Amino acid sequence: MTHDELLDYDREHLWHPYSSVSNPLPVYGVKSATGVRLRLTDGRELIDGMASWWSVIHGYNHPVLINAIQEQAARLPHVMFGGLTHEPAVQLAKTLVDITPAGLDLVFLSDSGSVSVEVAMKMAIQYYYAAGKRQKHRFLTIRSGYHGDVFHCMSVCDPENGMHQLFSGVLPEYYFADKPECKFSDEWDANDICSLQMLIEQHHNELCAVILEPIVQGAGGMRFYHPQYLRKVRELCNAFDVLLIADEIATGFGRSGKLFACNHADVVPDIMCLGKALTGGTMTLAATIASRKVEEMIASTDPGVFMHGPTFMGNPLACAVAQASIQLLLDSDYLTQIQNIEKQLEQGLAPCRDLDSVADVRVLGAIGVVELKEPVNMAHIQPAFVEKGVWVRPFGRLIYVMPSYCMENGDLQYLCSAICAVIEEEAAG
């Protein structure tokens, strides 16, 4: 297809995420990608500040990852995981058990981050079903959170400002504590945990789990909160017999400046969800990792098995490239790379603080956020970024970047200057 034919057919027949076919947002054809650059079908080249929704941590088309896929495809592209196993899945499970917090010993593989959260929620419900506490089937979470698009996951996304409020009245209704206000680098304020503590004290007899994004709230608000908050949540869950689910889909594999965000607080959840960067952004794969006590309780009574099993669970191609991606990360000096990205984002986005349209600028690890006072006009701001030669995908009042860890200083500086320029131009009208 020509460039125009491709876009014309796309407009007529493809339904993009969070979009309308009747009134579409701008869409750009991508021909190829290497490192941190996207090459469009119209010949333009963009510096990608989004790492394809935070997943392409090593950059595009990395030879180690491509080789892992090619070699595995020549041997075994796929085989059902029911009653069969294979080396890529076993090796990946061993690596995940080794690098995640101690005590997370059992790996359940699925196809996407949203499904990994769905699996975790089902595990928590089935855990207390097996324990004979069948009234404990509700969840507690915090406002400004986001846990995915699968139906049950939507019930623990922010009920007012999240993407799924139109499903209220249809979704299960759970408990929402006030969002943490104590910022990551602030002095800890003990009052910050009061809302969640009150809810867990009042409702623990019906709660199966607290689910949250540790330290970094992603698509629900891009907020960074204090590690002590997470420690206090762990203490409360222990005290009131409630499981803790850590959704590390956005934060896993170094994004926050630690290998996992839970490591900022030295907290071990009962269940952890991983996705996005698990395969270095090459293939869809997710993992739900649980403590042995969760599985042993589930197995202790009828039906004696965990009731979930995706068709493409444990796909060998995805497992092989995930193993290669994790090893590539661990063999690199990724923490120094992320610290450098943090420094560059701090410096590069600082001028935005002086703009009247900006409410806040915040950076943690390889995450940079400019929060505006008013929502962006996506139909206008997206082309403005493309004209500057960068790919940035805002939502609501948030303009944020999560670049690949291999992005060099010159590209980081250009990316930040483009963000500052577009915000200033948009405010000027």
**Is 247 among the residues known to form the active site?**
yes
Q: Is the pLDDT of residue 287 over 90?
A: yes
- Mean pLDDT, to the nearest integer, of 63-82? 98
Residue range 189-225, pLDDT digits in tens: 999 999 999 999 999 999 999 999 999 999 999 999 9
Of the candidates 146, 225, 334, 405, the residue annotated as catalytic is 146
Integer Cα distance of 399 and 378 in angstroms:
11
Residue range 2-19, pLDDT digits in tens: 999 999 999 999 999 989
- Residue 142's pLDDT is what? 98
pTM of the complete model: 0.97
Query: Cis peptide leading into 303, omega within 30 of 0?
Result: yes
Q: Which residue has the tokens 């910022």?
A: 183
Q: Which residue has the tokens 């949540």?
A: 233
Of the candidates 158, 247, 270, 411, the residue annotated as catalytic is 247
**Is 334 among the residues known to form the active site?**
no
Q: Which residue has the tokens 């610290």?
A: 339
Residue range 242-264, pLDDT digits in tens: 999 999 999 999 999 999 999 99
CATH H-level superfamily of 3-61+333-428: Aspartate Aminotransferase, domain 1 (3.90.1150.10)
Q: Is the pLDDT of residue 161 over 80?
A: no
Domain locations in the chain as residue ranges: 3-61+333-428, 65-331
Whether residue 178 contacts residue 195, with contact meaning beta carbons closer than 8 Å, is answered with yes
Strands (E), 282-429: 286-291, 358-364, 367-372, 390-391, 398-401
Which phi and psi (to 5°) does residue 280 adopt? 65, 20
Integer Cα distance of 252 and 278 in angstroms:
8
**Is 276 among the residues known to form the active site?**
yes
Percent of the chain residues topping a pLDDT of 70: 100
User: DSSP labels for 68-107?
Assistant: HHHHHHHH-S----SS---HHHHHHHHHHHHHSPTTEEEE
Of the candidates 276, 334, 388, 414, the residue annotated as catalytic is 276
Integer Cα distance of 140 and 175 in angstroms:
5
Count of all residues that appear for the chain in the document: 429
Average pLDDT, the chain: 96
**Is 158 among the residues known to form the active site?**
no
CATH architecture classification, 65-331? 3-Layer(aba) Sandwich (3.40)
